[in-house]
Amino acid sequence: MEPTELVRRCGDVVQEFDHRSQDSGNVSWLVQTPRSRFFVKTAGRPGPPPPGAPTPYFDHAGRVALLRNAVAVAGSCDHAALPRLLNVIESPLGPALVYEAVDGELVGTDRSSRSDPTTAYQRLARLPADDLLGVFDTLIDLHVSLAQEGWVAVDLYDGCLIVDFSTAALKVVDLDSYRRGATTNDMGRMFGATRFMAPEEFALGAPIDQRTTVFTLGRLVRHFGTRLSEELDEFCGPPDLASIVGRATSPDRDDRYADVAEFAGEWFRARTP
């Protein structure tokens, strides 16, 4: 059975995510059943994209491989910030990943809308300091767990963050491109949002490792923690935290923390009253 037929048999499609809302080539659905809500993610269909749709970077086989990588990420790390992967259903078009649906709003926003105060992007940056630092705590703690399993962040950006503004709870999604173990840049310009990418993610043959993850985490924290100004003297936390973020985001790899554990250790020590 093809995924489209499967999800429509299982419940009511609340929302569909295809070429009209993203350019990955994947097709996903938010599905409401009598008992619960689920998020179902697939690699879409093989062949050329629909008329007028952007051409995905990966072909169908490449997208299937990324979904299987996402299964490996989910299976290796049990953390509250990761939506639970409930099932993997094989179909003629590849795997359908069935996740629990989570409450909250996706932070990533189109460039043209980033100045809109009603967006989740702007509202995250304007959270009370304690709530915003709590979001950062969760993001960093999750990556401690992922790093312990060898995962290096690739394509981590604000579009991976879902925040429930009623509780300031964070969920992190779309970690399909994470790499297990240190590797090298085999793409030149790697996947990701330029605002959050380390210099080595633009240099063919450069090392991609936990120092890279440290940089990206630091950039996310710096971007939102300075209320989008990028000025560390405007950081929402005390000067010690701002200094830690400054070191994490050093363009020089050797000046950053050696790994996620060291970065997190300094962060949480500074967070302890």
Q: Are residues 185 and 201 in the same domain?
A: yes
> What confidence score (pLDDT) does residue 30 get?
94
On whether the CB atoms of residues 183 and 153 are closer than 8 A, the answer is no
Q: Are residues 76 and 137 in the same domain?
A: no
What single-letter amino acid sits at 210? Q
Which residues are bridge partners to 30 per DSSP?
15, 39
In SS3 terms, 108-165 reads as CCCHHHCCCCCCHHHHHHCCCHHHHHHHHHHHHHHHHHHHHCCEECCCCCHHHEEEEC
The domain that contains 167 carries what CATH number?
Answer: 1.10.510.10
Q: Are residues 85 and 124 in the same domain?
A: no
> What confidence score (pLDDT) does residue 66 get?
96
> What confidence score (pLDDT) does residue 53 get?
75
Q: Are residues 148 and 62 in the same domain?
A: no
Q: Looking at the 3D structure of the chain, how many domains does it have?
A: 2
The domain that contains 60 carries what CATH number?
Answer: 3.30.200.20
Mean pLDDT of the chain: 94
- CA-wise closest residue to 138 among 225, 79, 74, 209: 79
Q: Are residues 118 and 96 in the same domain?
A: no
> What confidence score (pLDDT) does residue 3 get?
81
> What confidence score (pLDDT) does residue 37 get?
95
Instruction: For the beta carbon of residue 273, count every other beta carbon within 10 angstroms.
Output: 2
Domain boundary among 37, 72, 100: 100
Q: Are residues 83 and 111 in the same domain?
A: no
Instruction: For the beta carbon of residue 138, count every other beta carbon within 10 angstroms.
Output: 19
Residue 119 has pLDDT above 80, yes or no: yes
Residue 126 has pLDDT above 90, yes or no: yes
On whether the CB atoms of residues 195 and 224 are closer than 8 A, the answer is no
Q: Are residues 177 and 229 in the same domain?
A: yes
Fill in the DSSP letter of residue 77: -
Q: pLDDT by residue (tens digit) across 137-191?
A: 999 999 999 999 999 999 999 999 999 999 999 999 999 999 999 999 999 999 9
> What confidence score (pLDDT) does residue 54 get?
78
H/E stretch holding 88: strand 85-91
26 is in which domain, residue-wise?
3-100
Domain boundary among 76, 100, 124: 100
Q: Are residues 219 and 137 in the same domain?
A: yes
Q: Range with the lowest mean pLDDT among 8-17, 70-79, 184-193, 242-251? A: 8-17
Q: Are residues 242 and 188 in the same domain?
A: yes
Q: pLDDT by residue (tens digit) across 36-67?
A: 999 999 999 888 777 777 778 889 999 999 99
Domain boundary among 84, 100, 116: 100
- CA-wise closest residue to 224 among 125, 129, 149: 125
Using the structure block, give the residue that is written with the tokens 């963050």. Answer: 161
Residue 23 has pLDDT above 80, yes or no: no
- What is the distance between the alpha carbons of residues 237 and 233, in angstroms, rounded to a whole number? 10
> What confidence score (pLDDT) does residue 190 get?
95
Using the structure block, give the residue that is written with the tokens 């990943």. Answer: 97
- CA-wise closest residue to 208 among 225, 188, 236: 188
Q: pLDDT by residue (tens digit) across 229-259?
A: 999 999 999 999 999 999 999 999 999 999 9
Could you tell me the pTM of the whole model? 0.95
Q: Are residues 227 and 109 in the same domain?
A: yes
